[in-house]
Structure 1
Amino acid sequence: MSKRIVCLRHGQTLWNVEHRFQGHTDIPLDETGIAQAARAASLLAALRPTMIVSSDLRRANDTALALAGIVGLDVSVDKDFRERGGGAWEGLTREEIAARWPAEYVAWEAPDGEPVPDVADRVGAALRRWAGQLDGDGLLVVASHGAALRLGIAHLLGLPQELWSALGGLGNCSWSVLEEGRRGWRLLEHNAGTLPEPVNSDDTPESAS
């Protein structure tokens, strides 16, 4: 028996479509995002989750609630699963960011935003904390955000920072599956749920391409 975590990115928002940095801004799902959440819920319900946790931002929480309504579980909310804070970049398109902060855009580090290592530590620690509450064969679904989940997964797997870019981004309402083994956590699936398609995310341009 092994514990598993499904890391589920939220459904599409209007700012995703417009390529705007969302960060901590509380943007709702658009019509497509609501349909994506319903589809993902119908598929993930077959895994019989035993616990569901989400970010406190409604695009993630509403995605989690779509699954909870099918499997009959409550959704716990944890602010540590929020997206990476973008500071002054929030609400701006990638083109606007590149024009105003060319050097910072290349590094993908907002001058007043949340540093990448801090996000990895925050989300990775939250994944471990909630997984610690599972029974031996429990399945935790975490509804969160693209950059937050990618960095949290890298942290949970124990990857050194120079290898974090080896993990690609997550599409809207796609998910990754982790399983705890004798030597720690391992990645079983990544960005599953759809055929490969462009990723519109707050994550790095390389991860989102």
Structure 2
Amino acid sequence: MLTRLCLVRHGETAWNTERRLQGHTDIPLNAHGIAQAHATAASLATERFDAAYSSDLARARQTAEAIAGRCLLTPTFDDRLRERHYGAFQSLTYDEARARFPDAYHRFETRDPGFALSEGGESLIQFAERVRATLEAIASRHRGGSVLIVTHGGVLDIVHRLATGMHLQAPRNFGIPNAALNWIAWDGAAWSLISWAEQRHLDQSLDELPNT
């Protein structure tokens, strides 16, 4: 019995356009991001979801509320769906983080799986385990159904790897645009990829994340 999950990256924020690491910093959508959230809501208006979940950060909440309202759902906000905690990198642009913390940035850029970012940051292994456990719990709760999840780019990086078997350290070769649709399935034992980065409903969408 397959459980389908539709995962949506939140709409655009001002920090996305600046290539600034947001992590757990609570940044709202910009005007374009709000328009994207409503476009995504319209694209999903005919889908039947059994439940909706979202990160509790504002950019995800705003996106989820737009979609859930159109789909007649009440989203559950869950801090386990937050972006990776980037520690000392949070609020810096990628270039600033590289210049200020060259050694740490090299380990981040090369996807060292056990490297935990300073000031409360998560390692890739810790982050991936959080994402895996959260998604499996949600899928098990709605076995055989369809679930909407609004989350973040880093979470979706882990999701694609879970569904395809791609190693945590492998450079990214797939897109993660703001407000795109990403569908995966759970059979009770393993994840599989249905479709990825659907964005026909969007006129323009950023994928400012590094290809690492």
TM-score range, shorter chain: 0.7 to 0.9
Which aligned pairs between 1:101-120 and structure 2 lie closer than 5 A? Answer: 101-108=101-108, 110-112=117-119, 113-120=121-128
1:11/1:59 contact within 8 Å kept: yes
> Structure 2 stretches of 5 or more lacking a match?
109-114
Which aligned pairs between 1:16-165 and structure 2 lie closer than 5 A? Answer: 16-108=16-108, 110-112=117-119, 113-136=121-144, 138-155=145-162, 159-163=166-170, 165=171
For residue 173 of structure 1, the aligned residue among 156, 160, 179 is 179
Inter-partner Cα distance in structure 1 for 2:90 and 2:135: 25
Let me know the Cα RMSD of the aligned residues.
Answer: 2.2
Percent identical residues? 36
1:120/1:154 contact within 8 Å kept: no
> Structure 1 stretches of 5 or more lacking a match?
none
TM-score (norm 1): 0.87
Q: Which has the higher helix share?
A: 1
Please tell me the residue identity of whatever aligns with 2:207.
V
Please tell me the residue identity of whatever aligns with 1:147.
G
Residue 47 of structure 1 deviates from its aligned partner by 2.2
Instruction: Give aligned pairs, total.
Output: 202
Q: What SS does structure 2 have at the residue aligned with 1:186?
A: strand
TM-score (norm 2): 0.86
1:55/1:61 contact within 8 Å kept: yes
- Deviation larger for 178-187 or 74-83: 178-187
